[in-house]
Amino acid sequence: MAGSALRRLMAEYKQLTINPPEGILAGPVDEENFFEWEALITGPEGTCWDGGVFPAKVIFPADYPLSPPKMKFMCDMFHPNVYADGRVCISILHAPGEDPTGYESRSERWSPVQSVEKILLSVVSLLAEPNDESPANVDAAKLWRENRNEFEKRAIRLVRSTLGLPPPDC
């Protein structure tokens, strides 16, 4: 199984290097281990995350693409769909099949037709448009809903932090 997973990951990496999505760099940490990737995700233009560069890790299971990878931001992140420890909570990364909570449809969850590129693009979209109905970070979701201005100020501080800049004068 790991052999076919490795071939698939190598092919996806090749595709990402030939035609990288705008604002995303991703690839294996080293060529000895294609099952652990690093990614740099640029915050979507026109959002409170604009200009930020967010490092993340993507860990692939031995049976990839039958099972989804796990993704975690390696910087501070305050977002409704990111746990306090940086783990990304998004439907595309949830195991295939029926959702035990009944919230997600089968089509929203992982399937082997997904790819690293689709995952990363989904995360960029999630930054721009959080799903506050099923939050991983309840405090972030509450602030997003009830005080968007304060949420955006907090996001801008994180953006500046990712760039090594001091917080803005607010």
Does residue 166 contact residue 60 with C-beta atoms inside 8 Å?
Answer: no
- Supply the pLDDT for residue 103: 75
Compute the distance between CA of residue 163 and CA of residue 169 in angstroms, rounded to an integer. Answer: 16
Q: Please give the pLDDT value at position 167.
A: 81
CA distance 42 to 26: 12
The per-residue pLDDT for 25 is 95
pLDDT at 1: 56
The reply to whether CATH 3.40.50.10090 applies to domain 4-162 is no
Nearest to 150 by CA among 52, 48, 76: 48
Catalytic hit among 48, 75, 89, 170: 89
Domain segments of the chain as ranges: 4-162
pLDDT tens series, the chain, 170 aa: 578 999 999 999 999 999 999 999 999 999 889 999 999 999 999 999 999 999 999 999 999 999 999 999 999 999 999 999 999 999 999 888 877 776 777 888 899 999 999 999 999 999 999 999 889 999 999 999 999 999 999 999 999 999 999 887 75
Q: Give me the pLDDT at residue 97, please.
A: 81
Tell me what pLDDT residue 133 has.
Answer: 87
Among residues 40, 36, 98, which one has the least CA distance to residue 70? 36
pLDDT at site 170: 53
Whether 89 is a known active-site residue: answer yes
DSSP letter assigned to residue 148: H
Q: Is 8 helix (H, G, I), strand (E, B) or coil?
A: helix
Q: Say what the pLDDT of residue 2 is.
A: 72
Q: Which H or E element spans position 121?
A: helix 116-128
How far apart are the C-alpha atoms of 64 and 34, rounded to whole Å? 11
